[in-house]
Chain A
Amino acid sequence: MTEIFHVMVLTFLIICAIAVAYIRDLLSAVILFAAYSLMMAVIWQQLDAPDIAMAEAAIGAGVTTLLFVVTISKTRRQE
């Protein structure tokens, strides 16, 4: 069961990473990157690293996304 879960999460991670590189709309890319960070946090937790999981969830999915959104609102939305 955990094996299937790990494969699913890692597949999602790879899809997210490729999509972030390919997508033209920067706001969508930022949101995808937040999803990537959240999945990464789940993986850290599965690897028995709760400290890193918390940092990844709070910084990667939370604050970084916000700062990127603010930056996009100050510049352009399209690549």
Chain B
Amino acid sequence: MKLHRIGVAILIVILSVTLAGALAELPSVEQRTSTSQLTRRVIDGGLQDTGALNLVSAVLFDYRAFDTLGEATVIFAAVAGVVMLFYQAPLHPSSIGLSMLAKRSLDSIGPFVFLAGMYVVLYGHISPGGGFQGGVILATLTILISIVYGLETERRLLDPTFKTTLESSAALLFMVIAFGGILTGEYFLSNLSAGFPRGEAGSLLSAGSLAPLNAAIGLKVGAGLALIFYSMVKREPE
């Protein structure tokens, strides 16, 4: 026991020294943005290349859209795994929920949560946010409903089969947009060069395929997380 603790302490000291050394070697933010070719390329040419004001979205859904497709696939696999794992659990839904006060509070804030989620998804190419963040906010709304109003109410509002369909069709929408690039003679996931309209920078319908890709990811993540929560809170047989 004693020896074990000393070993851990030595390991922590070694790790701290290594990390402190690495930290001292790091260039400052100003130094990095002025010397890194990649950073300069995105900051200077991002708006020209993609038509998106939010450069983070530009990187996520244009320059590195293929990575985003991979991330979406990972989430898809995770959702499928969780749903499969809890598939056997029969449903004993409750429609009692919390007190009247909690229900009325959710009635007042619910629409605004939905609005915030939709805003973050649809304006992902203009302001901070995007499909992932907005999708999680939308999923939070369904989770709030199932906690406050009971799982039965949430199930009646949004059928699990509907959520599954929504998630799969959002994934399909992403692929359809991605293949649109190939159909016009460009590359997989090509954006402006494949003929998607550039629009006026800063308006809702701009930046070519970025907005629809954001919407697809938003629906996918939202439906997927709602499904994960739904599958997990279904009661086990007692």
Residues of A within 8 A of B (CB): 50-51, 53-55, 58-59, 62-63, 66-67, 70-71, 74
B174 on interface, CB distance cutoff 8 Å: no
| 30 pairs of residues in contact across A and B, judged by CB atoms under 8 Å | A51-B54, A51-B56, A51-B57, A51-B128, A51-B133, A53-B128, A54-B120, A54-B129, A54-B133, A55-B136, A58-B133, A58-B136, A58-B137, A58-B140, A59-B132, A59-B136, A62-B136, A63-B139, A63-B140, A63-B143, A63-B225, A63-B229, A66-B143, A66-B229, A67-B229, A67-B232, A70-B229, A70-B233, A74-B232, A74-B236
Q: Whole-angstrom distance from the CB of B118 to the nearest CB of chain A?
A: 14
Instruction: Across the interface, name the chain B residue whose C-beta is closest to A58.
Output: B136
Which residues of B are found within 8 Å of A62, using beta-carbon distances?
136, 140
B228 on interface, CB distance cutoff 8 Å: yes
The DSSP consensus for interface residues of chain A is helix
B180 on interface, CB distance cutoff 8 Å: no
Considering the chains assembled together, what is the distance between the CA atoms of A74 and B86 in angstroms?
Answer: 12
| 7 closest A-B pairs by CB | A50-B128, A58-B136, A54-B133, A51-B56, A70-B232, A51-B128, A55-B133
Which residues of B are found within 8 Å of A71, using beta-carbon distances?
232
Considering the chains assembled together, what is the distance between the CA atoms of A74 and B229 in angstroms?
Answer: 13
B130 on interface, CB distance cutoff 8 Å: yes
Considering the chains assembled together, what is the distance between the CA atoms of A58 and B135 in angstroms?
Answer: 9
Which residues of B are found within 8 Å of A74, using beta-carbon distances?
232, 236
Which residues of B are found within 8 Å of A66, using beta-carbon distances?
143, 229
On whether the beta carbons of B130 and A51 are closer than 8 Å, the reply is yes
On whether the beta carbons of B228 and A67 are closer than 8 Å, the reply is yes
On whether the beta carbons of B236 and A54 are closer than 8 Å, the reply is no
Number of interface residues of B (CB under 8 A): 20
Residues of B within 8 A of A (CB): 54, 56-57, 120, 128-130, 132-133, 136-137, 139-140, 143, 225, 228-229, 232-233, 236
Considering the chains assembled together, what is the distance between the CA atoms of A31 and B108 in angstroms?
Answer: 26
Q: Whole-angstrom distance from the CB of A73 to the nearest CB of chain B?
A: 8
Considering the chains assembled together, what is the distance between the CA atoms of A78 and B136 in angstroms?
Answer: 29
On whether the beta carbons of B128 and A54 are closer than 8 Å, the reply is yes
Residue in contact with A51 in the complex, picked from B129, B140, B225, CB distance below 8 Å: B129
Instruction: Across the interface, name the chain A residue whose C-beta is closest to B138.
Output: A58
Which residues of A are found within 8 Å of B232, using beta-carbon distances?
67, 70-71, 74
Considering the chains assembled together, what is the distance between the CA atoms of A19 and B148 in angstroms?
Answer: 30
Which residues of B are found within 8 Å of A51, using beta-carbon distances?
54, 56-57, 128-130, 133
Considering the chains assembled together, what is the distance between the CA atoms of A66 and B233 in angstroms?
Answer: 11
Considering the chains assembled together, what is the distance between the CA atoms of A71 and B86 in angstroms?
Answer: 12
Which residues of A are found within 8 Å of B57, using beta-carbon distances?
51
On whether the beta carbons of B56 and A63 are closer than 8 Å, the reply is no
Given contacts A62-B136, A67-B229, A70-B233, 15 further A-B contacts (CB under 8 A): A51-B130, A51-B133, A53-B128, A54-B128, A55-B136, A58-B136, A58-B140, A62-B140, A63-B139, A63-B229, A70-B229, A70-B232, A71-B232, A74-B232, A74-B236
